[in-house]
Amino acid sequence: MARKVTHMAVAFSVILGAIPAQAAPNPATAEALRVIDAWADAAQTYGRWPALSIAVGEGKELVWSSGYGHVDTARKRPADGKTIYSICSISKLFTSVAVMQQWEAGKLRLDEPIVTYLPWAKLQDDGRDSVPITLRSLLTHSAGVPRDGRTSYWTGPDFPFPDQAELQADYASAKPLYPVGKYYQYSNIGLTLAGDAAAAVAGQSYNQLVESRILAPLGLSDTKPYLPYDQLGKRMAVAWGPLDRDGQRKLLKTFDTKAITPAAGFSSTAEDLVKFGLWQIDLLKQEVAPATPGVLRPSTLREMHRVQFTDPVRSGSWGLGFYVEQDGAKSFIGHDGSCPGYNTVVLVRPDSGTVVSAMTTDNREIWAEAVEIHRVLDLRRDHSFKGAAPAKVPLEDYAGRYLDNVWSNEAIILPWNGGLVRLRLPSSNPSRGLTYLKPLGNDQFRVIASDGSEMHVVTFRRDAAGKVMHYEEHHTKTLRTGGSIPEERRRAPAAKP
Chain segment 251-279, per-residue pLDDT in tens: 999 999 999 999 999 999 999 999 999 99
DSSP letter for each residue of 197-249: HHHHHHTS-HHHHHIIIIITTTT-TT-BSS--GGGBTTTBPPPB----TTS--
CB-CB neighbours of 75 under 10 Å: 18
Name the band, by pLDDT with cuts 50, 70 and 90, for residue 311.
confident
Name the band, by pLDDT with cuts 50, 70 and 90, for residue 7.
low
How does pLDDT run across 369-398, given as a tens digit for each residue? 999 999 999 999 999 998 888 989 999 999
pLDDT of residue 287: 87
- Is residue 169 scored above 90 in pLDDT? yes
What is the 3 state secondary structure string of 344-413? EEEEEECCCCEEEEEEECCCCCCHHHHHHHHHHHHHHHHCCCCCCCCCCCCHHHCCEEEECCCCCCEEEE
What is the 3 state secondary structure string of 414-465? EEECCEEEEEEECCCCHHHHCEEEEEEECCEEEEECCCCCEEEEEEEEECCC
pLDDT of residue 16: 33
Report the distance separating Cα 141 and Cα 134, nearest Å. 11
Residue (of 27, 9, 20) closest to 395 by Cα position: 27
How does pLDDT run across 349-361, given as a tens digit for each residue? 999 999 999 999 9
CB 253 within 8 A of CB 293: no
Q: Which of 67-81, 166-180, 267-281, 471-485 has the lowest mean pLDDT?
A: 471-485
Question: To the nearest 10°, the Cα dihedral for 211, 349, 27, 489?
Answer: -70
Higher pLDDT, 91 or 364: 91
Q: Spelled out in words, what is the top-level CATH class assigned to the domain 1-382?
A: alpha beta
pLDDT of residue 241: 96
How does pLDDT run across 407-443, given as a tens digit for each residue? 778 999 999 999 999 999 999 999 999 999 999 999 9
Report the distance separating Cα 361 and Cα 452, nearest Å. 39
Listed in order, the ranges of the chain carrying CATH 2.40.128.50 are 395-491
Pairing of strands 323-327, 330-339: antiparallel
pLDDT of residue 102: 98
Residue (of 410, 472, 417) closest to 444 by Cα position: 472
pLDDT of residue 331: 92
The predicted model scores a pTM of 0.92
- Is residue 488 scored above 70 in pLDDT? no
pLDDT of residue 313: 79
Of all residues in the chain, the percent with pLDDT exceeding 70 is 93
Mean pLDDT of 18-34: 78
Report the distance separating Cα 8 and Cα 34, nearest Å. 11
pLDDT of residue 15: 33
pLDDT of residue 484: 61
Report the distance separating Cα 453 and Cα 451, nearest Å. 6
Average pLDDT, the chain: 92
Listed in order, the ranges of the chain carrying CATH 3.40.710.10 are 1-382
Q: What's the CATH code, domain 395-491?
A: 2.40.128.50
